Structure formats: C-alpha cells, structure tokens
C-alpha cells in the first residue's frame, strides 16, 4: 500500500507542473445537496482531469534509461491524455491504448499531446492485455491508470490540498473507476485527518467495488454500461480493493438520470462543464443517497471536464 510519505514526495515531484486547483465554496448548492458544499474542480487541471497528477508523478520518477525505453498506458481517455502530455513535456515516447468507442474529445486530446493511439476493445481488461503485450514486445514502461503506486500517490495530493485549504472538511466524496483516485485520496485524507469521512460513488451500470465489498473479495462484471465513460472498468482491482476496504467509509451507486441532472446543475449553477464521471458525487447527493446534515462541510471532487459535447447538448436540451 502507498503511504502518506509517498504522497508528500509526489507533491514535490509535480509541484510547478500540475495546477493546484482551488477549493471552492458553493453556497448556492447547500439547500439542494443538504450540506455546506465545497468543490475541488479537477476539471480545471491541465489536460482537464485529475489524472495529470498521477501521470506526472510516475514519469518524473523514471530514470533516464527508462525514459529512453518509452512508456505505454491503457486508458478510456483522461489517463491517456495525462500520460501523453507528461511524456511530451519530458521528451518521452508514449503509446496509449484506448477503446474503439473512445470519447472523441479524449481521443483528440491524446493526439494533441503527441501520444500514439492504439484502439482496442471496449472494456478495460482488453486494453490492459494490449498494454502488457506492448510492454513485453517493446520493453516500454507501463503506466497503469489505477494500479501503479506512483500514480495513486499523485492522485492523493488532492486530499493534501483540500484539507490544507479547509481543515473543517468532514467528508470527501470521490468518483470511482478503477480505484486509483479514491485509493490515493483516502490514504492521504485518513492519514492527515483520521476522522474525515471518505465516500466513493460508482455508476449503477458499473458497481465493481460495491459488489466486491458485499462479496468480501474483488469481483469482475460481465457487462458495463454507463455514460460515465471514465469509470468503465469491468473489475475491482485486487491492489486497490484492500485500500478501499481499509479507508473508504461508504460506497454508493447512482443511476444515469441523476448523473445527467448533476451535469446540468453544475453547468447552470456553478458555471462548470463537468463530464459524467466527475459529476458522480453531486449526482449521488441529488438522488438523496448521502446521509448529510446541513452542518456538514462536504467536498465533492469533480474529477474531470473532458465530456462529449454531443452528450452535453442532450443534457441541456432535455
């Protein structure tokens, strides 16, 4: 498992490269979400999502020999953009394995940052198999999107910034895909403030960790279907499952319609375009799945803003 020292070291590595996004008080949502609302808008991060933190920490930890080997990652899009950006910044060759039905905005982002795209399958296990194949064939360094400890430590820097900006935060709400973000965030949060609550939100069409917690072990899903494309992993990661079991207080699933409603709410009331995965926490609060009180100081991590504009149009016009 990663430690708080790993996360402090990650902050040193990415300082000056990643944006320290603001912690924003959003009082206009208090009555709607039934708590004192704070947001951590990682949609304002370079490359448009939190993923840059982990990718930078990993690539900046590589030796010169490893950099010459080049890197490869599997990604639904945001991690791929982050790896491509970081690799371009450091002069490293990067290959990114993406699904054949990739979000076009994220696909364009990887191309823009100079990553070489390889399209493969529709679920995470297929992409990971292809990534491992490229590691073996080309001796590239793998930058796993949610299993790599350097990646998880980079994501954990979010909690350091939240609790330093407002030590009164008593709950942090985090979207869950592969589990790297919540593993880093929960490790840091519980290390700095043991009594803070950390809650993870999954789409009901991909409830990997909720079902794994019920089963007492990591499970795989036969089918994944959700508009929250950043969370389309089809299995609970065995390295992240113990971290989530140790540090995450609650796991909640949310349906598709509240996700759309949350996107629209954030756009109209907060003036932020947040992709479906990033809106999961607000969606759970909207659907009254969160046991908040009006005195709770709750931080919603808005994990990214690289949404498909066609989807956004349908959300707005509904």
**Pairing of β 94-98 and β 71-74:** parallel
Answer for the pair 23, 161: CB distance below 8 angstroms, yes or no: yes
Sequence-ordered list of residues with C-beta below 8 angstroms from that of 23, at least 6 positions apart, any chain: 38, 39, 40, 161, 162, 165, 166, 299
Place of tokens 């880093």: 184
Out of 76, 124, 183, 212, which one is annotated catalytic?
Answer: 76
Distance of alpha carbon 60 from alpha carbon 83, whole angstroms: 11
203: left (phi over 0), alpha (psi -120 to 50) or beta: beta
Answer for the pair 95, 118: CB distance below 8 angstroms, yes or no: yes
Active site residue 40: no
Out of 40, 51, 106, 130, which one is annotated catalytic?
Answer: 51
Sheet holding 141-142, edge to edge: 116-119, 94-98, 71-74, 141-142
Active site residue 76: yes
The residues annotated as belonging to the active site are: 51, 76
């Amino acid at each position: 498992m990663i430690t708080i020292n790993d996360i402090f070291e990650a902050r040193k590595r990415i300082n000056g490269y990643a944006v320290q996004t603001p912690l924003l008080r959003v009082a206009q949502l208090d009555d709607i979400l039934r708590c004192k609302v704070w947001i951590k808008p990682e949609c304002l991060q370079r490359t448009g999502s939190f993923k840059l933190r982990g990718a930078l920490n990993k690539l900046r930890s590589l030796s010169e020999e490893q950099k010459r080997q080049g890197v490869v990652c599997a990604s639904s899009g945001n991690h791929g953009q982050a790896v491509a950006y970081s690799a371009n910044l450091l002069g490293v060759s990067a290959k990114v394995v993406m699904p054949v039905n990739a979000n076009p905005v994220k696909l364009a982002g990887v191309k823009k940052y100079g990553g070489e795209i390889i399209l493969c399958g529709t679920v995470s296990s297929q992409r990971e198999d292809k990534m491992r194949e490229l590691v073996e064939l080309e001796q590239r360094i793998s930058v796993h999107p949610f299993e790599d400890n350097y990646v998880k430590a980079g994501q954990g820097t979010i909690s350091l910034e939240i609790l330093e900006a407002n030590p009164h935060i008593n709950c942090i709400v985090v979207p869950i895909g592969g589990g790297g973000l919540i593993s880093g965030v929960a490790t840091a949060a519980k290390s700095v403030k043991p009594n803070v609550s950390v809650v993870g939100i999954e789409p009901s069409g991909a409830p990997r960790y909720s079902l794994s917690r019920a089963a007492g072990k990591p499970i795989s899903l036969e089918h994944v279907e959700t508009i929250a494309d950043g969370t389309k992993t089809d299995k609970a990661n065995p390295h992240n499952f113990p971290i989530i079991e140790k540090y995450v207080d609650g796991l909640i699933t949310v349906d598709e319609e509240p996700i759309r409603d949350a996107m629209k709410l954030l756009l109209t009331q907060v003036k932020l375009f947040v992709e479906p995965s990033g809106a999961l926490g607000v969606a759970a609060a909207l659907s009254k799945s969160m046991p908040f009180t009006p005195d709770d100081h709750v931080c919603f991590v808005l994990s990214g803003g690289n949404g498909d504009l066609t989807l956004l149009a349908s959300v707005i016009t509904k």
